[in-house]
Structure formats: structure tokens, C-alpha cells
A and B are shown apart, each in its own frame.
Chain A
Amino acid sequence: MKVGDLIVYIFAVALIMVGLLGMYAMGTQGGDKSVVVELDGQEVYSCRVYKGMAPVEFRVDAGNGQYNIVLITYEEVKIKEANCPDQVCVKSGPIRHAGQAIVCLPHRVVVKITAGHEETPDVDDIAS
């Protein structure tokens, strides 16, 4: 192994740290979480996640009979079923923390957990 290779590996470790720190930073912005479903970059559904909520099942219609069924519970969010060719979104499993996202490239669908709930401000936000 040469000197440059070592630099490459150090750079790789640094990148992994940056990624993990970034995920952590995005996950600790406030306590409340909400789930946003986007199709083609446009928000099609969003909901707040709170303790004791009833599980929500949302069906994303990406046109041409393409669909993804998103299952949202307090503990986790996952894509339960989809008819995309690669099934990556189903296989990638559930996400739990803010900043995480499930992406279905063939259907151009993103399901992400965001910190807070800026999209639907409630009375408390105005009062404070």
C-alpha cells in the first residue's frame, strides 16, 4: 500500500463520519416528526407522527398503474407493497429517524421522515 492509498482510505472514513453526523444532526432537530410522501418532487401526502396514533396506510399512484403502499406507524415507516420492477423500496426495509428516506427510483417516489411539522402549523406555533 502506498501513501496515497492511505489518504484515500482516511478520506473514506472521514466521509462515513460526515454521513453519520449529518444523519444524526438531521435527526435531532426538535422532537416531533412527520412523514412526507413525494411524487416527482411534489408533496402528495404528509402526516404528523405521534404516540398512540392509528397506523396509516397510504397508496401512492404514480400513474400507469404504478403504485406504492406506504405504511406509517408510530414506530416506523415502510413501503409495504409496490409494483416497481426492482423492489428496492420494499427491500430497503423500515425507516425510523428524521432525515431518513425511502426512495423508489422507478416510480419517482420519496417517503421521508422530517423533523418538526412545518407543513401543518397548529395553534401553538402561532401563539409562541
Chain B
Amino acid sequence: MNKVRKMVMLALIISQALVLHLIEGFMPVVAPGIKLGLANIMTLVTLVLFGFKEALVVVIVRSVLGSLLAGSVTAMLYSLAGGILSCLVMGWLYFRWRAYFSMMGISTAGAIFHNIGQLLVASWVFGTIGILFTYLPVLTVAAVGTGFFVGLASRYIIKYLEEQKWFKWERG
């Protein structure tokens, strides 16, 4: 694949993920810690269309830039921990067990591990494991719901992109 074109595509994906990340910040908070995880759509799309390494790059750059634009150092820590853990899990599931999972399943698993990563960091920052237990049930219920729709959205995006002539040529 043409290196420059790949870089441009990744840059576009990162900027889209960044916009989704920021838009999410404007949404009203239903309960502490519950977010839609829209930026995860772009991670999943990158994972499927480009590969694991590229997805990890997208997650890291998005988390760092997103926290710099709106957030704090602690927010960056949460975002990175959740994002990297969720990316590792989704990559493992997708490249190892693809036949057994739908996009929705992979994305739900990613959402669940995003929460676990964040809660582990929160427990570490606040020095109490109680936070993990208190938030786990509520966040897991939310992750099942949001993970499903994130998976659905990324499935349609991937399907659309794969049908495009210019993109096929792009993947080469």
C-alpha cells in the first residue's frame, strides 16, 4: 500500500475519532462514567481495515489529543488505559477468533474492557478498590448497550468503505 495514502487515511480517521471524542464531551452525563464510546467506532474501523498496530496508534493519538483539547492529565490517563486495554482485547478477539464473533460482540467486549481499564486506573489513583466494585455493575450494563450500537455503526461503515472502488485500490 502506498505509504503516503495510508498516512493520510489514518490522519483522517484520527481526526474523525477526535471529533467524536469531543462531541461526546458535550453530551449530558446520565450517570458518572457512562459515555457512548463513539470514538470506539473509528478504532474498530481501523482495526478491521488497516490492522492492529494502526488501531493502537489511532487510540493513543486520539486519547492524548482529546485530553489536551478538553480534559486534564487524569482524564488522559483514564482515556489511555481504557483505550489501550479495549484495543488489545478487540484486536485479540478480531484476529484470533473472528469466526465466532460479530462486530457487535467484539465492540461490546471492547467497551467492557474500556471500563475495566479506566476503573483500574481510578482505583489506583484513589487508592481504593471499592471504586471498581461500585461502578462495575452500572458501567457494564451501559457497555452492553453502547457496545452494541457502536458495533452496528462500525459494521455499516466498514461495509460502505469496502464497497468503494477507491478504497479497494487503497488497501491494495
CB distance from B106 to the nearest CB of A (A): 8
**Contact among B31, B109, B131, B136 with A18 in the assembled complex (CB-CB below 8 Å):** B136
- Given the known A-B contacts A5-B102, A5-B105, A8-B112, are A19 and B133 also in contact in the complex, defined by CB atoms under 8 Å? yes
Are B105's CB and A8's CB within 8 A? yes
In this complex, the interface size class of chain B, counting residues with CB under 8 Å from chain A, is 35 or more
In this complex, the interface size class of chain A, counting residues with CB under 8 Å from chain B, is 20 to 34
Chain B residues within an 8 Å CB radius of A8? 101, 105, 108-109, 112
Chain A residues within an 8 Å CB radius of B125? 41
Chain A contact residues: helix, strand, loop or mixed: helix
| A3, A105, A108 — most chain B CB neighbours (10 Å) | A105
Are A19's CB and B108's CB within 8 A? no
Are B134's CB and A100's CB within 8 A? yes
Are A101's CB and B134's CB within 8 A? yes
A residues whose Cβ falls under 8 Å from a Cβ of B: 1-5, 7-9, 11-12, 15-16, 18-20, 22-23, 26, 38, 41, 86, 88, 91-92, 99-101, 103, 105-106, 108, 110, 112
